[in-house]
Structure 1
């Protein structure tokens, strides 16, 4: 019995000495528990995104400038990101329905939103909203919104003075708008008519293209639009450009220079914009990947040709520039809102 105990003790001692020798040869530290930073492992997990389709919520109607451009951007997703990007139109409420749906989605980077400045600089003055600018993070600009006031060529109204003369002759000017108060196009055209003391009647439509179609069809006297919706009609001689809210005027390929209302002595101006955004709580690395994706699209020659065909250029602004522009819009809108309230 004693010999067996002695043998067991010798074997245990041999094992301890062997393990010590092994540790000395490999110089491996003993295993410890703790956070990744304490053990020398990466502080963040490897980004595994995207792995499924991305949804881009479009709060404006089919066929308008933002819709057409975002669908073109989304068409590059499979090639660049390896997953499809699906554009969904959630219209109504001057964009607030789409905004609310966007904010209810998961903040995992798989939901994008086509946003504009007035959702923060204008809409809250007319509609009770449950969001603030802190809820979103701009990713990249899409376009500068270059609003132009247009008339049907058959009306013989080719400039602002002729529009004033038309109204002075006892006519109430019917004008097409996309939405009502809270929408930038409605506010700016309404403010213009208020400054000119023109009796008018707003006729709302669901989207910019529908408003232009109504003008072409002679259902209204005046409409407001951006180049993608009106350019071909002006080139074909069906519509006239009366002026733009862009203070320095506007040069549109195939049309030429469109004088601003400022240049015509009317104290009204507005520069709008559309941009892509995600919820502010989305992983910053995903936000950066999305921006890189958009910039790669903008650098593509075919996309540049597509934008030129609509008389526009992609607006590759960053978050700081977008937020600064929203601040400027908010200040400008404080002058125009009282004119339409």
Structure 2
């Protein structure tokens, strides 16, 4: 009878795991990482250390993740922007190829937000105003080529209006600019803006999802689709690792996170920050990356954003 070699026992993880968040504190990716961090010791046997690496619309953090040692001790939080950057030629890596998905954690639509003291009660009011005052409306977003930027371009094209694009260093800066009245509109994550909606400083005019948001604070807001505009894309939050990671380590992480994401406490924490948990396993997540990439490529070409971004970067 053969004895089992000791090497088959996977002693992983034996130390804390670093989680790279490629955006600043307070955004959707950051809040997802911090919700995972709370329950990680229970399911992974080690704590997670969240490290924010903002810059380059996510390119700095995801670049670091793609180039990290694939030993399982560096993982990262993913979002839809990850599919966009390689299309612009602004990334050192083609992330969907350089990274391997561990899980999709959650998915959320974006919302079109304006200051509540502005006269626009509906999306139609805003569009009419934009047509009467072309170029007067400023649209804030977290960087050229970011997902919110793309949504702004899609909205402008779909509504046939001209909006001036104002890039900021990240989503929280763009939201601050909206609250301060430096820009008139912004596509933001509903959870980032929910408290401002509650206290009456921000009004939401439309939702980018197929359905309305179930949260009672935002449930009355119609989708773009309902209002006759083709602005339908949701952001998602997931976990990915460097591609070359050994299968056993990858599987261990995938199993641990699957159990963590299924924990009712985690679901409740995510729900509290307005991020509905929508778990997908590694293969399903890979398929989603592919399908969304195709949709984004089509959108980029149809809106002329791709040429615009490439011209800007030259």
What TM-score, normalized to structure 1?
A: 0.82
Displacement of 1:44: 5.2
Q: Are 2:140 and 1:167 aligned? A: no
| Worse overlay, 47-56 or 73-82 | 73-82
* Matched residue, 2:245: 282
CA contact (8 A) 2:81 2:147 kept: yes
CA contact (8 A) 1:175 1:221 kept: yes
Cα distance per residue 1:97-120 (max 9 Å; x no partner): 111111222110001011123423
Displacement of 1:314: 1.8
Equivalent in 162, 167, 179 of residue 143 of structure 2: 179
Q: What is the rounded CA distance, in whole Å, between the counterparts of 2:43 and 2:6 in structure 1?
A: 28
Matches within 5 A, 1:267-306: 267-306=230-269
- Flag structure 2 segments of 5+ consecutive residues without an equivalent: 309-314
Equivalent in 181, 200, 219 of residue 256 of structure 1: 219
SS at match of 1:129: coil
Matches within 5 A, 1:1-341: 41-42=4-5, 45-120=8-83, 122-132=84-94, 133-170=96-133, 172-181=136-145, 183-338=146-301, 339=303, 340=305, 341=308
CA contact (8 A) 1:64 1:208 kept: yes
Q: What is the rounded CA distance, in whole Å, between the counterparts of 2:8 and 2:282 in structure 1?
A: 26
Displacement of 1:209: 2.5
Larger Rg: 1
Report how many residues are paired: 302
Q: What is the rounded CA distance, in whole Å, between the counterparts of 2:217 and 2:121 in structure 1?
A: 18
Cα distance per residue 1:251-277 (max 9 Å; x no partner): 223221432211111123112212101
Q: What is the rounded CA distance, in whole Å, between the counterparts of 2:155 and 2:228 in structure 1?
A: 12
Task: Give the RMSD, CA atoms, in angstroms.
Answer: 2.1
Displacement of 1:61: 1.1
SS at match of 1:272: strand
| Worse overlay, 39-48 or 194-203 | 39-48
Q: What is the rounded CA distance, in whole Å, between the counterparts of 1:269 and 1:68 in structure 2?
A: 23
What TM-score, normalized to structure 2?
A: 0.89
Q: What is the rounded CA distance, in whole Å, between the counterparts of 1:293 and 1:283 in structure 2?
A: 16
- Flag structure 1 segments of 5+ consecutive residues without an equivalent: 1-28, 30-38
Q: What is the rounded CA distance, in whole Å, between the counterparts of 2:231 and 2:120 in structure 1?
A: 20
Q: What is the rounded CA distance, in whole Å, between the counterparts of 1:151 and 1:281 in structure 2?
A: 44
Q: What is the rounded CA distance, in whole Å, between the counterparts of 2:282 and 2:221 in structure 1?
A: 29
CA contact (8 A) 1:173 1:198 kept: no
